[in-house]
Chain A
Amino acid sequence: MTTFLGMPTAPRGVGHLRQVEPFPVAARRGLANTQMRRNLTKATGIIRAKRAAIVGEVPDWEQLREAGRAIKTETMAHLDHYLEQLETNVTAHGGVVHWARDANEANRIIVDLVCGTGAAQVVKVKSMVTDEIGLNEALAQAGVQAYETDLAELIVQLGHDRPSHILVPAIHRNRAEIREIFLREMGDADPGLSDDPAALAEASRAHLRRLFLSARVGISGANFAVADTGALGVVESEGNGRMCLTLPETLITVMGIEKVVPSWRDLGVFMQLLPRSSTGERMNPYTSIWTGVTPGDGPQQFHLVLLDNGRTAVLADETGRQTLHCIRCSACLNVCPVYERVGGHAYGSVYPGPIGAILSPQLTGIEDNASLPYASSLCGACYDVCPVKIDIPSVLVHLRARHVEAAREGRRLPRGEAVTMAAASWVMASRGRFTAAQRAAKLGRGVGRRGQIRRLPPPFAGWTEARDMPVPAAMTFREWWRREHRPEDGARG
């Protein structure tokens, strides 16, 4: 007999999926960073308004969301089938498909492919998944320099920084900060560079153009892969992605296994949902779609790396698997009151915000990102804007329950909390115990001044740092009811 230990999760020691400190601690640093908070409030406010206006023009938006959800649900139910179909069609069109169990395997495959070309540098399209697996570090160890070509990724890379947003990795920076980074790190920036956005874009254009023309290997992620044709798609705004996808001789695309869609027809749904949800545009400026290799046109070597890295473990969880529906639009970040105040770095993972709070702990196993499912007030704004209707609040609650269950089994529950919860459950399950507790609570009336308690002991101290707490009422509602109304016949408790 064998014991099923669950699906493998993303390995430790590689990539960027894990918190190094608990969310409340990291969040405190974000809250104190007034420049970042101002940048974020401004930027998310603009994107929120654009999204709301542009989504408002679509009369069948709710049906579109439902269609997106349905396509993803169907895909996840038959993921094995669609992935093999994709492999067959990519191979038939001259591409080579590689299956990577986890970050280490993916990095090894890609490093070997790059080294096989003899290239010492690669250009990259913005890609969450290569950051997830820590590909740039793996390439650097092999002596290969990776250049990020998405403007925001370039800012992050030059600033020796971490991305803080799914769509706009440098959203925490304003233009004055970007100018400083360019002047300090670019090497070829004009010393008279202004912080005018057009001038900054021009500086990056000049800087990147030389790289595009000399690079022999391009590395990309993918927004979609179409199973029944073998086509891959990248959706972007700047055109830098298209340079990477078309100029080098060799193109290596890394894709999470959940990005496959069954057929071309499905793109009609997602190409409406994605730009409106992410940038608040009817259509994004550049959509590149390619199928394998076309002789004499574009890269002549094409490799597709299909990455699991914990995704099968997510798929195995009936409630959690909807997390894999995510199309990385970042609408949930832009409406999240927690994200807006703490910034993306507080989440400790390449996937920040509400979607990160449910994705990262599932990819790594909850014990490695235990505070993330609690990094939400469960306000539900994320669920309302999600283009594929991921019920993020319900998944958060589910992951909290999974965390408590796992911690209980390993006897790792915070003792105070577990005792409080068990005691509260015991008290609340009985009318007699509940009314006795109410009588006891009235003793707290003596602690208050003018009806308010100014200071409570832990674990309630956090409340009274900034808020008063009303003292328990002199007469509870049920005492009033007894006085005013005849008790019900036969009421027992």
Chain B
Amino acid sequence: MRIALFVTCLADTLFPGVGQSTVRLLERLGHRVEFPEAQTCCGQMHINTGYASEALPLVRHYVELFKPYEVIVAPSGSCVGSVRHQYAMVARRCGDEKLAQRAEGVAARTYELSQLLVDVLGVEDVGAYYPHRVTYHPTCHSLRLLRVGERPLQLLRNVAGIDLVELPDAEVCCGFGGTFALKNADVSTAMLADKMRNVVDSGAQVCTAGDSSCLMHIGGGLSRLRAGVKTVHLAEILASTREAG
């Protein structure tokens, strides 16, 4: 299958390994990945901070760029959540009904990675190997906006060598929330403290999730505390094999 990758601005700039892993994984499964190089950012930060008119050019850019593709994947629950649940709303708010309708079409073809694998490609065992103790944080937008449900866990359970342990209070937000972490830094930190305690209590050495932004938040806290737990994106675990870890 021909799949267009929307890598997200965060992964592109700070976590390129997430994008590389997504490409390697999909190619290993026999698919052709295309990377429309004009892509930039989904605009979620603008939308969620109240800057709808500043988000509009980014919405238009994404919709125009990805319109030709049948299947689009992004390794981020929140960016896909924004495309699927906010794009048409932003376009309508700015009075562009035509863009809103085009956005709805492109949004329906945009998938978060675990949705693409399980629902579109029909795979639950991607043939990965990852011999580490891992706990999974189901990020809020994957969980409650996209309803990815058990899909990431189904994929992780089929990874050879993995020791998957449960995260206490897994469904509680880590406190990132985009600019919330800056505007309400103290509250965000209090939420992060509880998330980190649960990650450490799980006994895992790796905390994984389907969103680089939440992982940057949790990982940034764990790094500051020298907690001995690292964060690894779901795509990176699923891309790991016995041959190349």
Contacts and interface: CB of A to CB of B under 8 A. Distances in A.
A431 B9 contact: no
A425 interface: yes
Given A434-B40, A478-B35, A425 B46 contact: yes
A218 to B, nearest CB: 40
B184 A470 contact: no
B37 interface: yes
A428 interface: yes
Nearest to B61: A429
A467 B224 contact: yes
A475 interface: yes
B221 A466 contact: yes
A438 interface: yes
A377 B50 contact: no
Interface residues of B, number: 71
B35 A488 contact: yes
Interface string A446-485: 0000001010000110110111111011011111111011
Interface residues of A, number: 70
A417 B179 CA distance: 10
Q: Choose among A379, A468, A473 the residue with the greatest number of B CB atoms under 10 Å from its CB.
A: A379
Contacts, number: 208
Contact of A377 (B9, B54, B140): B140
A138 to B, nearest CB: 34
A contact face: mostly helix, strand, loop, or mixed: helix
A187 interface: no
B118 interface: no
B62 to A, nearest CB: 10
Contacts of B221: 466-468
Nearest to A491: B37
Interface in A404-461: 404-405, 417, 421-422, 424-425, 427-431, 434, 438, 441, 452, 454, 459-460
A380 B139 CA distance: 11
Contact of B181 (A425, A462, A477): A462
A271 B181 CA distance: 39
Contacts of A473: 13-16
Interface string B51-74: 110110110010000000000000
A431 B41 CA distance: 10
A384 interface: yes
B153 interface: no
A463 B220 contact: yes
A24 B184 contact: yes
A38 B210 CA distance: 32
B13 A31 contact: no
A342 B189 CA distance: 12
B83 to A, nearest CB: 14
B37 A493 contact: yes
Contact of B173 (A379, A404, A417, A479): A379
Q: Choose among B34, B45, B187 the residue with the greatest number of A CB atoms under 10 Å from its CB.
A: B187
B7 interface: yes
B152 interface: no
B185 A463 contact: yes
A210 interface: no
Interface string B162-196: 00000000011101111111111111111110000
A477 B7 contact: yes
Contacts of A479: 16
Contacts of B51: 401, 404, 421, 425
A233 B4 CA distance: 57
B12 interface: yes
A62 to B, nearest CB: 13
A401 B93 contact: yes
B28 to A, nearest CB: 14
Which 7 pairs, one residue from A and one from B, show the smallest C-beta to C-beta distance? A462-B185, A377-B177, A400-B50, A467-B220, A493-B38, A379-B173, A380-B144
